Structure 1
Amino acid sequence: MTIQFFGYPKCSTCNKASKWLKDHNIEFVQHHIVETPPSKELIKEMLSTSGIELKKLFNTSGMKYRELQLKDKLPSMTEEEQIELLVSDGMLVKRPLVFDGKHLTLGFKEEEFEQIWSNN
């Protein structure tokens, strides 16, 4: 699977991450996370492949997250309801989200990108 990069053009962290990938000649397909959020199937694949907790996919520092009071609501929601929420609004997804079918990174930490994306 080609590296899928879900980001937001006005997000400085997303821009740093995509610049890092470009500077390291790593090919990826860029998706505008609001216009094309990850699909339900892709989110489920990310969860099963990476073993990451579903709650880690939420952008907990985002305005939308706070607006919807998800800190209080998520614990009582089913996994299916949480996934539906993520696919309904890309601004709820932690970004940048980078996935290649085997590896997943959330946010941008240069050391993590170096470790995961340089060796593919």
Structure 2
Amino acid sequence: MITIYTTPSCTSSRKAKAWLREHNIEFVERNMLTHRPTISEIKAMVGKTEDGVDEIISTRSQIFKKLGLDLETLSIQKLFTFISENPCFLRSPIIIDEKRLLAGFSEIEIRRFIPRQARKFYLQQAQLSVN
């Protein structure tokens, strides 16, 4: 099952949810502001990244700029605690399944992210519409 971590004001979150609905892909939504990710959820997210914490942190967020955080000086535990307490520090949306994570919204990337069976179905549909 796909879980999508969102923030209400995020345009990319709305686009990702609309794309998933349009393609009839079931997902569970987690509003990060009302249901903050736990430290264990954040650890699980990082475990599914290729680039570690850098992949899920929004360095363009206002809180990041305001606090002037130096990620290199924080211990990983303090960083996870900070993220859990300040979820607006995370990129949005964050889409995860059992094995993978996609941070942000890109139609090209989300097509690669969806389950293999769904990709095969959409490929077949595209081929039928061409013929």
Question: TM-score under structure 1 normalisation?
Answer: 0.89
Q: 1:49 to 1:10 in 2, by over 3 A?
A: closer
The aligned residue for residue 64 of structure 2 is 65
Work out which of the residue numbers 86, 89, 95 in structure 2 matches 1:89.
Answer: 86
Percent identity, aligned pairs only, is 25
1:12-53 Cα shifts (integer Å, max 9, x gaps): 111011101111111111111111122211121222233431
The Cα RMSD (Å) is 1.4
Structure 2 spans left out of the alignment, 5+ residues: 118-131
C-alpha distance in structure 2 between counterparts of 1:55 and 1:79, whole Å: 12
1:118 CA drift (Å): 4.7
Q: How many residues align?
A: 117
Question: Could you tell me whether the CA contact under 8 Å between 1:58 and 1:93 is conserved in 2?
Answer: yes
2:96 aligned with 1:99, yes or no? yes
Question: Could you tell me whether the CA contact under 8 Å between 2:83 and 2:89 is conserved in 1?
Answer: yes
The aligned residue for residue 21 of structure 2 is 22
2:131 aligned with 1:115, yes or no? no
The aligned residue for residue 3 of structure 2 is 4
The aligned residue for residue 46 of structure 2 is 47
Structure 1 spans left out of the alignment, 5+ residues: none
